[in-house]
Amino acid sequence: MSEASNPAGTRYYDTMDTLPKILLYNAHERKDRTCMREKDLGIWQTWTWSEMAKEIKILACALAAKGFKRNDKLGIIGNNRARLYWSMAAAQCLGGIPVPLYQDSTANEIIGILIDSDVSFIVVEDQEQVDKILEIWDKCPLIRHVVYEDPRGMFQYNQPFLNDFESMMALGRRYDREHPDFFLQEVDKGSGEDVGVFLFTSGTTGKPKGVVMTYNNIIITARNTIELEKLSQKDELIAYLPMAWVGDYLFSFAQSYVAGFCVNCPENTETIEADRREIGPSYYFGPPPIWENLLTRIMIRMEDAFWVQKKVFHFFMGVAKKTGARILNKESVSLLARWLYAVGDILIYAPLKNALGISNVRLAYTAGEAIGPDLFDFYRSLGINIKQLYGQTEAFVFVCIQPDGEIYSDTVGIPAPEVEVKITKKGEVMYRSPGVFHSYYKNPESTADTKTPDGWVYTGDAGFFDARGHLKIIDRIKDVGKFSSGELFAPKYIENKLKFFPHIKEVVAFGNDRDFATAFICIDMNAVGDWAERLNLSYSGYASLAGHEAVYQLIRESIEKMNKDLALDEKLRHSQVKRFLLLHKELDADDGELTRTRKVRRKFINEKYPVLIEALYSNKDICRFEAKVKFEDGRTGIIAANLKIWKAALFGSDAVREEK
Amino acid sequence: MTFFLEVLISGLLSGVMYSLVALGLVLIFKASGVFNFAQGSMALFAALTFVSFLEMGINFWVCLLMTMGVMVILAFLVEKFILRPLINQPMITLFMVTIGLDFFLEGFAQLAWGTQVHRLDLGIPNDALFIFDIMIGKQDIFIAVTAAFLVLVLTVFFNKTRMGRALRAVADDHQGAMSVGIPLKHVWVMVWIVAGFVALVAGLAWGNSLGVQFSLKTITLKAIPVIILGGFTSISGAIVAGLIVGASEKLAEVFLGPFVGGGIENFFPYLLAIVFLLIRPNGLFGDVHIDRV
Amino acid sequence: MNTAIKYNETVFQGLSSPIDVYARTRSQKIGAPILQVKNVSLSFGGVAALEDVSFNVKEHELLAIIGPNGAGKSSMLNVINGVYHPQKGQITFFGETRHKMNAHHSAEQGIARTFQNIALFPGMTVIDNIMTGRNLKMKANFLEQALYIGRAKKEEIYHRQKVEEILDFLHIQPIRKTPVGRLPYGLQKRVELGRALAAEPRLLLLDEPMAGMNMEEKEDMCRFILDVNDELGTTIILIEHDMGVVMDISDRVVVLNYGMKIAIGTPKAVCEDKDVIEAYLGVNP
Amino acid sequence: MFYRETGQFKTSYAADRAIFPIRQDLYGMGILLLLALTVPFFVKEYWLSAILIPFLVFSLAALGLNILTGYAGQLSLGASAFMAVGAYTAWNISTRLPQVPLLVSFIAGGITAAAYGMFIGIPSLRIKGFYLAVTSLAAVFLTEWIFTHIGWFYNYELSATISTPEMVIAGIKFDTPIRRYYLTLIIVCLMALAAKNMMRCTIGREFMAIRDMDVAAEVIGIRMLRTKLVAFGISSFYLGVAGALYAFVYLRSVSAASFDLSESLHILFMIIVGGVGSILGSFLGAAFILLMPIFLNLGAHAVLGNSIDPQNLATLELMVFGGLIIFFLIAEPHGMARLWQIIKEKLRIWPFPH
């Protein structure tokens, strides 16, 4: 075939076992299909597969010209930009390994990663990133070249190892003219066993580990999920999550290549909202916080609406809450309800989705942490097919997905295709799948203790399959305890479940080696405050509000609601909270009760509040307590309080057990 | 020669009329920065009201008072419903709003008092008298005198009385008015009352010769070139320019007209004004201002 | 006098303002004078605004004009770009000398400016405002425009891209389609700078570009001005009140007082100058 | 609410600068045009010749005035004068030189009007605001005088009126209202499109620049006089053509009196009510000002029966006009066009209030 007809010099491969080969395949099969857009200079700059393949080819040649060899590592730092994605591909074409890094991490955070993964070339977005590299330049002897995409402000730099993207491309073109066959030869050398990418774990637990993925891991996982979710080249995706995150690599890169759909890069971080609206993605991923603040912003914006408008809005939201999710799950819904929903769709739902730019969303994922049932149901009731998935970097994301029509806010669904999941005796979730990572780079021992020789991987999460055969993740395995009766006790699970109630801010659950569960509750000052105002309860401050009978009543109802739920679940019914108290103060990072990221520090609390804990397990219903507090001005003082301890009703067989 | 003088004088006499109306415009403009296109309609309105009262057989002076009362009310309404909402708007907007007012008043006046022509007789003999065998209509003289008298009154009012000075202060800057210690809205009401008064007199004067009918409103159109010539903010300018316009248009009509087929007095003043504008954009006595950047 | 010395520190404490993190690293060499102002005198109806002012501006240089209110700073700019016509004196720009020139001509010569109190076109969007700044570069006749063919269409598209580059340069992409009337003050100033840049000027006159801005906005503005000066190599004359800013970013400073030039030189030299201190503190020796 | 813009993105500046960048607007426009094209099949001929044709003609006139007053910010009370020039020129050409195609004589009318307009506009360099308005006022009187006193222009008809010959374009006789309607429709649409194009290109931006901030405009390098004259020229061209249509297509027999000051004021009202500086506004305004008396009439008859005296109706009309102008200038200086804009914005972000 002639150069002209396919600029990148595409060819068929009987085995499309590497992404570069798939790229060339697309450049031929989907020649004129748009594969990437980037909002730049006010319009969506567009590339078809063949155009992009050509760019990548040139870029690859440029890298080669600069001395980039097989198995060299190419670091990538920056927001989601087309050229950065190309750099990944270019490195892969040369048999090199791309190593995307988090763009917002500091110089000191990236230095470790750069060294561990022997990065020798780096492509960065702009001056800001260049400065980071320069800061740590001396500490990374391996790095040979730095390429920057955006020349803005770079006119002052004259380091020889800094390369402007355009001049790189020029170099690439020259190199390509001189070595016409080079590119294809390099691509041919690739095979499925080759390493495709290093993805670094976020490193919340210990220092980040470089997860090594082979093309087989990548491509097979991508294929399976594409088939499962019926993704096609017609889909549209917005790439807005960090490139270093495994999810982005799978959705915006691997799946896009395999399915052939189009990836859109927003103009910049402030314009994501607007850009999403323009593109109208059909496939969308967002961790719970993103959905969360989308919802809050809707409610805030609706606040100052004209009252009629509000009335209509809330009425139809009510309708949606009742019927929406059920229609989506194809359950039977009365004709009237359907009709009402249809009206609501014209008046509210469709316009709302349009305003948020999610009208065309056919498939949306949420993952990373538990999502509140109300939040989850809100979007489903609008008719957006949002699903939870359970995944890990080591699994190349997919472990479990909620299948269409079986969506429950409290489970993460059933194992993804070709994924086996089992639960250890200790209750830890293990899985084995084609996506299972090859190893941690240069870290055999941690590889060994995460991955068994026969390919099973420890997730470190405790969970179990419920009656419907759906996986329920309850907690990190290390936090899971046992009741004296031997049944499992998952504090985090209880706490999360309670925290989803609007009036509850923080919860600390106890029960390890005890015979039932109890809890400290911190009320949400604002929510409960409003509630109290509506009932015009008088209160002077947090403590007095928390001490209020009515508030106790309110919280007890929430707890009993939860207990009712738990009772339905064989594994969890013992975890029903039997006694609880409302703390006289909010848990506070300054007092060391929370981590800076607002995670409860159990150990500390156990040491600080033994009296209260004992009281919870005694049978007294009031307990005096003095607490040391740090005031704003740094002085410390004692406040004393008498805390009531209340009992919450238990349900199911546990209730019976109570009778005895 | 005598003929020329006759024309000149009759021109000057009607010129006084123009000055009178122009004065009304200058007043309002000075005080509220509004070019009042509705001045003519106000004259029509005033005159119609007056004659209608008169036709009810009410005593002349009572009618006069009643009409004044009506004009006062009008002034208040204008201030409340038009000027106040449009405070600090560009002059052009204010100008256009008075066009609206012009239509409204014309419509209202005729709806209220009917569209037919009312004869108005102020009992001035309609014959002419001769001074050095120059013929002059008594009515013209009478009108001219009243007008001249009114002009005098207003000039005094403006330069001597506290209120008058306040009005001028406002013209310069709105704080100015405050400093004189008179709230802006009172000032505005005041000028519009005065303008209403002027309108009434003008209306009667013309109505007396032409009969009271909607054509009265065209006197605004007569007055416009006058204030262009005299400058929007100058009383003396209005007077002088009035005379110039009056005289020149008559002369032009009589001595140029025949050569071009007559009827030029409608636009001749305008040509005069424009030519003049190009030479001296701020009018005869208009104050010069440089716009700073 | 020693009182003056005492004030001295307080007056120029701006020297240590946060902005001096932008210590100048020049990429453009300061070249030969491109603008000479010779013995310019200007007065409004007898009131003298400028008296016999002379100085010159070198290529790629950032020259600041400072002075108390009413010192004639803005008038100076207005003379340079032909809005005011000086009674005496002449101005030479790129070898072309003139006593009197109109604003349009100076624009054609490549002099652009911003105004003390923003003079944007409130009815138009940000894009259109900046686009208007390029009008001298547009050649399409009205027929082409009426039919939206030929040059008209080409120009609209070509210049739109140029405008987008400016939006990008000033980080105002998110507001590109907002009518400027609705923008907050700080952003309007930025847009006005953008409009001036759109003309790709050889000399840029900035009349208090940071007036009424908060610290953060000022720092941004400084950054932009420096980038314009360095990256685009544009020569800039800047009027600014914030001494800190002036000291940090300008190469030379001209001090006006009551329409007269009382000092010219490097920031340091100028703020040690006795007359200048007096001018600022009004203490007579 | 009905604006569903998700998924409408632009990949080229051409698309981004399109007249109707939002798809729904495009469709709306399409439907409107379709209606305009099919309406003759639904309505009586009377409607065509008494309402739709004048509506189109006056829309064009309002558009012309809007270009000068709304976009370039030069207040003019002289609209009717330029219409008159257009009308008389077209008439003279088509009667004296029958071989000249009608459309050409229309265009010639426009061009002459443009020239006249530019001449009238010359003072606009030195004088601003209503000083200018006055000049245009003079134009009205001057023109009216010329066309009443210089016989040549109306071919010495005793009535001093001109009655237009029958219209033939490319062999097609435009003798029925339907045909005349289509002729007007096409001309008006094309000219409106042209106006839109000019206003979104350099010319339009220069106009708005001198309107919004003339000093800044000058500093940017916009030539004051040139731009203002262009504004007068283009505006008068539109008015001229409108005048020609007014004479040929609508009244078919006019005298100078039909182009008096009140005609000018009517057109001014149209743009004030419709929307200053808006093409859409010109049409809305024309429709409103033309239909208002009709509805007034119907209303009055409905209320008072046929007893009502036409005189009073006329004066009532004056009052309502005046009241409307005052109302709009105070309540919504940008007229109905802005109202529509606001509604549209609301629809776009619905269910959110802002």
Ranked by mean pLDDT, the top range of A110-114, A154-158, A292-296 is A110-114
Does C115 fall in a domain?
no
* pLDDT for the residue D207: 96
When pLDDT is averaged across residues C199-223 and rounded to a whole number, the result is 91
Residue spans of beta strands (DSSP E) within C108-209: 111-114, 203-207
Pairwise CA distance, residues A70 & D189, whole Å? 65
Per the CB < 8 A criterion, the answer to whether C133 and C196 are in contact is yes
* pLDDT for the residue A452: 93
Amino acid making up residue D334: H
Whether residue C234 sits in one domain with residue C176: no
Query: What is the full DSSP assignment across D170-212?
Result: TTEE--SHHHHHHHHHHHHHHHHHHHHHHHTSHHHHHHHHHHH
- Calculate how close chain A gets to D15, using CA atoms only, in Å: 9
Question: Between A42, A280, A351, which is nearest D351 by CB?
Answer: A351
* pLDDT for the residue B181: 61
Does C139 fall in a domain?
yes
Query: What is the full DSSP assignment across D21-42?
Result: -SHHHHHHHHHHHHHHHHGGGT
* pLDDT for the residue D151: 85
The domain in which residue D248 lies consists of 26-259
pLDDT band for B281, please (50, 70, 90 cuts).
Answer: low
When pLDDT is averaged across residues C12-31 and rounded to a whole number, the result is 50
Could you state, in order of their start, the residue ranges of all structural domains in chain B? Answer: 2-17+37-216
Tell me C179's DSSP state. Answer: B
> C 3-62 residues with CB below 8 A of D?
none
* pLDDT for the residue D302: 82
Name the more confident of B171 and C163: C163
Nearest Cα neighbor of D85 from D238, D200, D193, D205 is D238
Burial D90-129 (b: 16+ CB within 10 A, else e): bbbbbeeeeeeebbebbbbbbbbbbbbbbebbebbeebbb
Q: Residue C60: pLDDT above 70?
A: yes
In terms of C-beta density within 10 A (0-12 exposed, 13-18 middle, 19 or more buried), how is residue B129 classed? exposed
Of C199, C226, C255, the residue at which a domain comes to its end is C199
Name the more confident of A204 and A129: A129
Name the more confident of C99 and D287: D287
* pLDDT for the residue A307: 87
pLDDT in tens, A311-342: 999 999 999 888 888 888 888 888 999 999 99
**A654 φψ region: left (φ > 0), alpha (ψ -120 to 50), beta (else):** alpha
Q: Encoding tokens for residue A215?
A: 């093309």
pLDDT in tens, A350-363: 999 999 999 999 99
Per the CB < 8 A criterion, the answer to whether A83 and A52 are in contact is no
Ranked by mean pLDDT, the top range of B50-64, D42-56, D178-192 is D178-192
Does C142 fall in a domain?
yes
Pairwise CA distance, residues D82 & D238, whole Å? 9
Whether residue C141 sits in one domain with residue C154: yes
Chain B hits for D130, CB-CB cut-off 8 Å, are 35, 91-92, 95
Question: Between D4, D12, D16, which is nearest A350 by CB?
Answer: D4
Nearest Cα neighbor of C191 from C122, C104, C103 is C122
Helix (H, G, I), strand (E, B), or coil: what is residue A533? helix
In terms of C-beta density within 10 A (0-12 exposed, 13-18 middle, 19 or more buried), how is residue C278 classed? middle
When pLDDT is averaged across residues C254-265 and rounded to a whole number, the result is 90
Does C116 fall in a domain?
no
Chain C hits for B290, CB-CB cut-off 8 Å, are 44-45
- Which CA distances in Å does D74 have to A375, D122, D226? 57, 12, 14
pLDDT in tens, B160-213: 887 777 766 666 555 555 555 667 777 788 888 888 888 888 888 878 777 777
How many separate domains does chain C show? 2
* pLDDT for the residue D201: 94
Nearest Cα neighbor of A424 from A457, A394, A469 is A457
Percent of chain B scored above 70 by pLDDT? 85
Mean pLDDT of chain D: 91
Looking at CATH, the fold of the domain delimited by A480-659 is given as GMP Synthetase; Chain A, domain 3 (3.30.300)
Q: Is C173 on the interface with D (CB under 8 A)?
A: no
Amino acid making up residue A116: D
Q: Residue C13: pLDDT above 50?
A: no
Helix (H, G, I), strand (E, B), or coil: what is residue A68? coil
The domain in which residue C264 lies consists of 2-110+201-281
Amino acid making up residue A211: V
Name the more confident of B52 and B274: B52
Q: Residue B271: pLDDT above 90?
A: no
pLDDT in tens, A225-239: 999 999 999 999 999
Of C199, C231, C264, the residue at which a domain comes to its end is C199
> C-side interface with B, Cβ within 8 Å?
44-45, 74, 78, 83-84, 115
Question: Between C123, C135, C148, which is nearest D212 by CB?
Answer: C123
**Cα C22–Cα C240–Cα D211 angle in degrees, nearest 5:** 115
Strand partners, A523: A504
Pairwise CA distance, residues C243 & C66, whole Å? 8
HSE on the CB side for C143, CA within 13 Å?
Answer: 0
CB contact under 8 A, A268 and C173: yes
Per the CB < 8 A criterion, the answer to whether A210 and A198 are in contact is yes
Residue A565 CB coordination number (10 Å)? 16
CB contact under 8 A, D129 and B106: no
When pLDDT is averaged across residues D314-334 and rounded to a whole number, the result is 91
Q: Residue A214: pLDDT above 90?
A: yes
Name the more confident of C119 and C3: C119
Pairwise CA distance, residues C104 & A31, whole Å? 51
Q: What is the CATH number of the domain that holds C40?
A: 3.40.50.300
Q: Encoding tokens for residue C69?
A: 């209110």
pLDDT band for C21, please (50, 70, 90 cuts).
Answer: very low
Number of CB pairs, chain B paired with chain D, less than 8 A apart: 128
Q: Residue C17: pLDDT above 50?
A: no
C-alpha dihedral sign at B136, B142, B145, B146: negative
* pLDDT for the residue C6: 37
Chain B hits for C44, CB-CB cut-off 8 Å, are 290, 292
pLDDT band for D267, please (50, 70, 90 cuts).
Answer: very high
Q: Of A244-258, A363-377, A615-629, which range is least confident?
A: A615-629
When pLDDT is averaged across residues A201-216 and rounded to a whole number, the result is 82
Per the CB < 8 A criterion, the answer to whether B263 and B257 are in contact is yes
Does D160 fall in a domain?
yes
Q: Residue C120: pLDDT above 90?
A: yes
CB contact under 8 A, A302 and D353: yes
pLDDT band for A1, please (50, 70, 90 cuts).
Answer: very low
The values of phi and psi at residue A635, to 5°, are -65, 155
Q: Residue C51: pLDDT above 50?
A: yes
pLDDT band for C28, please (50, 70, 90 cuts).
Answer: low
CATH of domain A407-474: 2.30.38.10
- Quote the radius of gyration of chain C (alpha carbons, Å): 20
Does D332 fall in a domain?
no
* pLDDT for the residue A611: 87
Q: Residue B61: pLDDT above 50?
A: yes
Per the CB < 8 A criterion, the answer to whether A270 and C174 are in contact is yes
Q: Looking at this predicted complex, what is its ipTM? A: 0.85
Whether residue C34 sits in one domain with residue C161: no
Given the candidates 3.30.360.10, 3.40.50.12780, 1.10.357.10, 3.40.50.300, the CATH classification of the domain at A19-250 is 3.40.50.12780
Strand partners, B212: B118
pLDDT band for C235, please (50, 70, 90 cuts).
Answer: very high
Name the more confident of A492 and B289: A492
Q: Residue A628: pLDDT above 80?
A: no
- Calculate how close chain C gets to B58, using CA atoms only, in Å: 56
